[in-house]
Amino acid sequence: MQPDLELVHIRKGESFAAWRHGYPFRTVRWHYHPEYEIHLVVATSGTFYIGDFVGNFGPGQLIMTGPNLPQNWISEIEPGEVVPARSLVIQFPEPFIEDACSSMPEMDALRPLLERSRRGLLFDEETSAKVRPVMERLLEAQGMARLALFWEILDLLVNAPHYEVLASLSFELDLTGIGDSGINRALSHLREHLTEQIEEGELAEMVGQSQSAFSRAFKRHTGTTLVRYRNQLRIDLACQMLLTDQEIKVAEICYDVGFSNLSNFNRHFLKFKGMSPSQFRTTFAAQKAFVMAE
């Protein structure tokens, strides 16, 4: 089965994405993305897939994956159960880290880690326990403090005493058909222009299809329409902003993620999340306080 392209959105003024997500969630599927990823499970157990590797996971599992390595984590939960916070995630683009390595000699120590991560790296419990509080702080940090915590995490991974390489040496994802497929090219374009008003006809023309053919293909691939899919991505981005920046106002987030008015934003947020943006922020703040108290 060919993996789907995941759209990783890095906010303007930031070098990488850092966020938490619950379960079920839209990214929980067989997927890939061109960014490196650091993935820490904080709740639930289940089965995970990295390249051609299959294993079991539980709370505390820490994995780093390189660009375009297919992956998925499927939690074992009761029907209808919702887990508010399952994973902590950092995603950073290859050009960002390559530029840093090229400009700072101290970064040479990072290159072996980056190369090994292209097959997926599972770290030991000791490293996971050290990384988790730093990731938690990073999710709340801004500016230079956020960047400093990012480098601290990479330093912990570089110096990890034990790790396991996951995908086999023979595994290699063939991106020839995937990257050039009409739908994934359209998804990639959406990723780069998520906050802009891109019409279905524009995407259809870009991939050389009629609008009706593109619409049918898009729905088969994503399970929904372009408008709903784009709104879902924007609401997901809004959720990240609500959780990572307690000072930013809901109205600012509304326009930052591409909605043209606040009432439309609130209506779609309620439809996708079952609560208002303010309630969402309050609920997860309470959940975080409860987890920390434990």
Q: In the numeric block, which tokens belong to residue 89? A: 């995630």
In sequence order, what are the beta bridge partners of 87? Answer: 21, 41
Whether residue 131 has pLDDT greater than 70: yes
Whether residue 154 has pLDDT greater than 90: yes
Q: Which helix (H) or strand (E) is 73 found in, with range?
A: strand 71-75
In sequence order, what are the beta bridge partners of 130? Answer: none
Count of all residues that appear for the chain in the document: 294
Q: 10 Å Cβ neighbour count for 235?
A: 21
Alpha carbon distance 26, 69 (integer Å): 18
Match 């994956």 to its residue by tokens: 65
Side-chain half-sphere exposure of 171, counting CA atoms within 13 A? 17
pLDDT at 282: 83
> Using the 8-state DSSP alphabet, how is residue 231 labeled?
H
Side-chain half-sphere exposure of 128, counting CA atoms within 13 A? 20
Alpha carbon distance 169, 171 (integer Å): 6
Give the pLDDT band (50/70/90) at residue 290.
Answer: very low
Decide which of 195 and 73 is more confident: 73
Do the strands 62-65 and 121-123 form a parallel or antiparallel pair, or are they unpaired? antiparallel
Average pLDDT over all residues of the chain: 87
Whether residue 118 has pLDDT greater than 50: yes
Q: In the numeric block, which tokens belong to residue 162? A: 């034990």
Give the predicted TM-score (pTM) of the model. 0.69
Ranges for all domains in the chain classified under CATH 2.60.120.10: 4-165
The per-residue pLDDT for range 163-179, each reduced to its tens digit, is 999 998 767 655 555 54
Ranges for all domains in the chain classified under CATH 1.10.10.60: 177-287
CA 221 to chain centre: 19
CA-to-CA separations, 61 to 35, 39, 98, in angstroms, rounded = 20, 8, 26
Name the class of domain 177-287. mainly alpha
Whether residue 192 has pLDDT greater than 90: no
Mean pLDDT of the region 134-141: 96
Torsions phi, psi for 179 (to 5 deg): -65, -30
Q: Which of 255, 250, 252, 248 is nearest to 275 (CA)?
A: 250
Pick the CATH number of 4-165 from 3.20.20.80, 2.60.120.10, 1.10.10.10, 3.40.50.720: 2.60.120.10
Whether residue 54 has pLDDT greater than 80: yes
pLDDT at 93: 94
Q: Which of 261, 26, 66, 21 is nearest to 173 (CA)?
A: 66
Whether residue 284 has pLDDT greater than 60: yes
Whether residue 150 has pLDDT greater than 80: yes
pLDDT at 291: 44
Mean pLDDT of the region 233-244: 81
Alpha carbon distance 167, 56 (integer Å): 14
pLDDT at 285: 65
pLDDT at 180: 46
> Using the 8-state DSSP alphabet, how is residue 117 labeled?
G
Alpha carbon distance 182, 249 (integer Å): 37
Alpha carbon distance 235, 228 (integer Å): 10
Q: Which of 30, 38, 33, 35 is nearest to 5 (CA)?
A: 33
Torsions phi, psi for 72 (to 5 deg): -170, 145
